[in-house]
Amino acid sequence: MTNVAFSGIRKLWIGYGAVAAALTVARILVPEGSTAAALVTYGYPLLTVAAIAVGVRVNRPPRTLPWILLLIMTVAGGAGNVAISVYLYSGGVPFPSAADIFFLACYPLLLAGLMLLVDGLSWRRDRAGVLDTLMVAGALGLGVWMLFLRPLVGPAMPLGDRLITMAYPLADLLLLAGVIRMFTAASRRGPAFWQLVASLAVQGLAHVGWVWQSWHGTNDNELAPAFVLSALLLGGAALHPSMATVGGADHRPPEGITPARVLLISSACLLSPVLLIADGLIRGDTADWLAASVCSIAVFLLLIVRILGLVRTVQNQATQLESLAYLDALTGIPNRRAWDAELDRRLAAAQRSGGTLVVGLIDLDHFKRYNDRLGHPAGDELLRTASSAWQEQLRAGDLIARYGGEEFGLIMHCRLKDAAVILERLMESTPDGQTFSAGLAQWAGEESPEQLTARADGALYTAKRGGRNQFSVAGHPAYTDQHTDFLTDASPIGR
């Protein structure tokens, strides 16, 4: 979006906000049943629908379906308002009424829109956030039962009235779960996000008050301004330029847990027993222990699943860290730490089994000159491609590691004759016409890893002194003249 277009949409949003504020104030001031009240009641859903449509077209969010569902929800809510106005014109709003069909239809549309906005079509991207939402919603569900459903639902109430009465608090609980899910999701929180949250909060509180008034026969539509404000906030969220980022990833770890999240989960776990204690103090022997117990069990089971997820995450991260600790960051092959550990382990195994083992050290010839001539990025690329090419030439049980700088280490389970053949293959596969010098040493049966490596290092420097682009073989440690009967009678061996 260009700066001119961005400025234009912001001006449109500010103008919309001024009109929305005027409509909300007007709905508070105008008398119920007046023509002005009817105009506001019929006008604000149309304004909200227009704002959502314009916002989707201008801001181009990556997900349009959630906003379309919110638009349809606004239309359904407007139809319910029309039904309420008709009832008021006829003398009063019965409960339940045909308007409940439209109002209850808003809930699944709203919840589906929120979930698609936050999670898209894959909730598995943030299973931890979903579990946290379910725990909090489950704990609050007990409060909804004790404070709203249990007092409202009487045994003499007709079944239809009972279902409608229960539907609103339960739907509001789902709405609250949607709001919690928005906060537990790793998404960006711009002005559009906060307007959407404010819209949902106002709508939820207004719904609770409306159901309570309707059941007690005191509903004279005093809460209509709250519904006006809620819908207009939704339109403002859609019209603001930041709506395109609502639900976008914030690049935070999906399984991360913060002190605020711990407090949220802890509060959810403690809410059920606290409500049971309060209910027992108020009602005595008639305390609803069954509902509290079921809710506590459900929340505790969700907590177990959440803890298992955290344990699995920690284990995976520990495995990844351990793997990274033994891998060279540039080439991706084992590093010096892995080399030292593997050489210790493999020498111990060879000593137990009587096997043969050869250690080799490779050093790229004139690597500093290569770096100075072509630059360090080219040098890094040479290290990567060379190590990859060499690794392809080794057998399954052999190991190549970056020993340090342009120096690499080899561990081969063979005799010197076979190791020499392997080194020939490595020399032929070295990329970019580069050469290397190498030293080989076969384990004598009693040497320590340091002694064996030192002999290979001595053979390497013999190869360098001999003119590079060759490998040298270290003699048996019992000899002092660098001759060996493992491979040949002469050392070094050139190509």
DSSP 75-123: HHHHHHHHHHHHHHHHT---SS-THHHHHHHHHHHHHHHHHHHHHTT-G
d(CA 376, CA 283): 78
Q: So what's the pLDDT on residue 323? A: 73
Q: What is the largest CA-CA distance in the chain?
A: 116
Residue 67 has pLDDT above 70, yes or no: yes
Q: What percent of the chain has pLDDT over 70?
A: 85
pLDDT band at 462 (very low <50, low <70, confident <90, very high): very high
Element (H, E) at 363: strand 358-364
If asked whether residues 57 and 188 sit together in one domain, one would say: yes
Q: Are residues 206 and 343 in the same domain?
A: no
Asked if 200 and 187 count as a contact pair (C-beta separation under 8 A), the reply is no
- Please compute the mean of the pLDDT values over residues 235-246 and round it to a whole number: 88
Residue type, 399: L
pTM to 2 decimals?
0.58
> Do 212 and 357 belong to one domain?
no
What's the pLDDT at 285?
65
Please list, in sequence order, all residues whose beta carbon lies within 8 angstroms of the beta carbon of residue 207, skipping any fewer than 6 positions away.
Answer: 168, 171, 172, 175
7-21, 222-236, 314-328, 478-492, range with the lowest pLDDT: 478-492
Given 254, 275, 295, which residue is the final one in a domain? 254
How many Å apart are CA 116 and CA 118, to the nearest integer?
A: 6
Least confident window among 97-101, 143-147, 393-397 = 143-147
346 and 221: one domain?
no
Sign of the torsion angle spanned by Cα atoms 482, 486, 488, 493: negative
DSSP string, 346-360: HHHHHHHHT---EEE
Domain assignment present for residue 310? The answer is: no
How many helices (H) and strands (E) the chain has is answered by 16, 6
Residue 302 lies in a domain: no
- Tell me if 179 is assigned to some domain: yes
User: Does residue 235 share a domain with residue 108?
Assistant: yes
> What's the total number of domains in the chain?
2
Provide φ and ψ at 396, rounded to 5°. Answer: -60, -35
pLDDT at position 116: 83
**410 bridge partner residues:** 360, 400
On whether residue 354 sits in a domain, the answer given is: yes
What is the side-by-side strand order in the sheet with 407-412?
A: 399-404, 407-412, 358-364, 436-442, 470-473, 493-494
Report if residue 291 sits inside a domain. Answer: no
- CATH code for position 401: 3.30.70.270
Range of the domain at 461: 336-494
Structural domain includes residue 301: no
pLDDT at position 169 is: 77
For residues 250 and 340, membership in a common domain is answered with: no
Residues 97 and 227 placed together within one structural domain of the fold: yes
Summarised one tens digit per residue, pLDDT across range 287-316 is 677 777 888 888 888 888 888 888 888 888
Residue 440's pLDDT is: 94
9's CB contacts (< 8 A; 6+ apart) are 1, 58, 59, 239, 240, 241
324 belongs to a structural domain: no
Q: Which position has the higher pLDDT, 360 or 476?
A: 360
Q: Which of these three, 215, 238, 254, is where a domain ends?
A: 254
pLDDT confidence bin for 153, thresholds 50/70/90: low
Per-residue pLDDT tens digits for 321-373: 777 778 888 988 999 999 999 999 999 999 888 888 999 999 999 999 998 89
Q: Give the 3-state secondary structure of residue 439.
A: strand
Q: Is the dihedral of CA 239, 244, 246, 252 positive or negative?
A: negative
Over residues 243-259, the pLDDT tens digits come to: 888 866 554 444 456 77
- pLDDT above 70 for 477: no
Whether residues 239 and 368 share a domain: the answer is: no
Which one is predicted more confidently, 243 or 460? 460
pLDDT surpassing 60 at residue 122: no
Q: Is a pLDDT exceeding 60 seen at residue 484?
A: no
Residues 218 and 365 in one domain: no
Q: Is 417 a member of any domain?
A: yes
So what's the pLDDT on residue 271? 78
- Mean pLDDT of all residues in 33-49: 84
14 or 489, which is more confident: 14
Identity of the amino acid at 216: H
- What is the average pLDDT across 438-455? 91
Residue 90 belongs to domain with CATH number: 1.20.1070
Do 108 and 216 belong together in one domain?
A: yes
Q: Are 66 and 116 in contact (CB under 8 A)?
A: yes
State whether 249 and 341 are in the same domain.
Answer: no
**Listed residues 254, 283, 317: the one ending a domain:** 254
Tell me what pLDDT residue 488 has: 45
- pLDDT (tens digit per residue) in 179-207: 777 777 656 678 888 998 888 888 878 87
Share of the chain above pLDDT 90, in %: 27
What mean pLDDT value characterizes the chain? 81
The verdict on 134 and 224 lying in the same domain is: yes
What gap in Å lies between CA 127 and CA 105, rounded to an integer? 27
**Which residues have a Cβ under 8 Å from the Cβ of 16 and sit 6 or more positions away?**
47, 51, 235, 236, 239
Strand ranges inside 177-292, DSSP E: none
Greater confidence, 289 or 76? Answer: 76
